Every structure is written in structure tokens, then in C-alpha cells.
Amino acid sequence: MFSHIMIGTNDLDKAKAFYDDLLNTLEVRPARVDGHRIFYITKTGVFSVSKPINGEPATCANGGTIGFACNSPEQVDAWHAAGLAAGGTSIEDPPGVRQGPGVKLYLAYLRDLDGNKICAMHRMAN
């Protein structure tokens, strides 16, 4: 459904270091730098971080969350640990299982260096 997701940053170098470390846990190669933007390109989509084109400060979305698919609970935990080590902030409940109607998920949430809410998710067998 989505071709790409792009979020804003006020410090491209810090954002690249953060997301390079974080996405390495998902076996994503370091970002390709394109002027004021960085791109993480995979077979399933593109994640990008950009300094705002209009020159105004970047802000995070209130109520928005970007979710990254993981292959296992261990990969979710590694993603979370890498994000914390790179300067992210743990939010919501600690990484773990969340049960909903007909669905069982292993989730972890962080805020990145610019305040964006990001999530790692593994869909578990019920």
C-alpha cells in the first residue's frame, strides 16, 4: 500500500547515525545520503529522513507512529536496545507481548532523536 515513509529531522547527521544503528538490527544497510535527505531502501519499501524543504523546524506527528516489521521477539529486543544505545527514549510499556482480539504481537516503542514515535513489531502465532 505504501511506497515510502518520510519523517523530518533537524540534524541529518545525528538522525543518520541513530537510524543506521537501529535499522542494522533489521538487516537494513546504512542510509544513502541525498543532499538534505537520507534513504533506507529495501525490497518492501523505503524509509527516509529529511530536513524540511521549507526551512522550518521539523516537528514530530502528534498521534503518529511508524512501525518496523521484525522477524522475531529477539529482533524486536535488539532493535529496542540499539535505539536506546543510539540516544532514543523508551516509551509506553517495556518491550513485550500485547494481546488483542485474534492477534498476539511482540512490540517495543521508542522516540527517536527528533521525537518521532517508532515501533518494532513481530506478529506471533496465537
What pLDDT digit, counting tens, does each position of 81-101 carry?
A: 999 999 999 998 999 999 878
Beta strand pairing call for 117-124 and 103-111: antiparallel
Annotated domain spans of the chain: 4-53+63-123
Q: Give SS3 for 97.
A: strand
Angle between the N-to-C axes of helices 73-85 and 12-24, in degrees from 0 to 180, rounded to the nearest 10:
150
| Nearest CA among 11, 6, 10, 43 for reference residue 26 | 43
Q: How far is CA 86 from the centre of its chain?
A: 12
Q: What homologous superfamily is domain 4-53+63-123 in, according to CATH? A: 2,3-Dihydroxybiphenyl 1,2-Dioxygenase, domain 1 (3.10.180.10)
DSSP 61: P
What pLDDT digit, counting tens, does each position of 11-58 carry?
A: 999 999 999 999 999 999 999 999 999 999 999 999 999 999 899 999
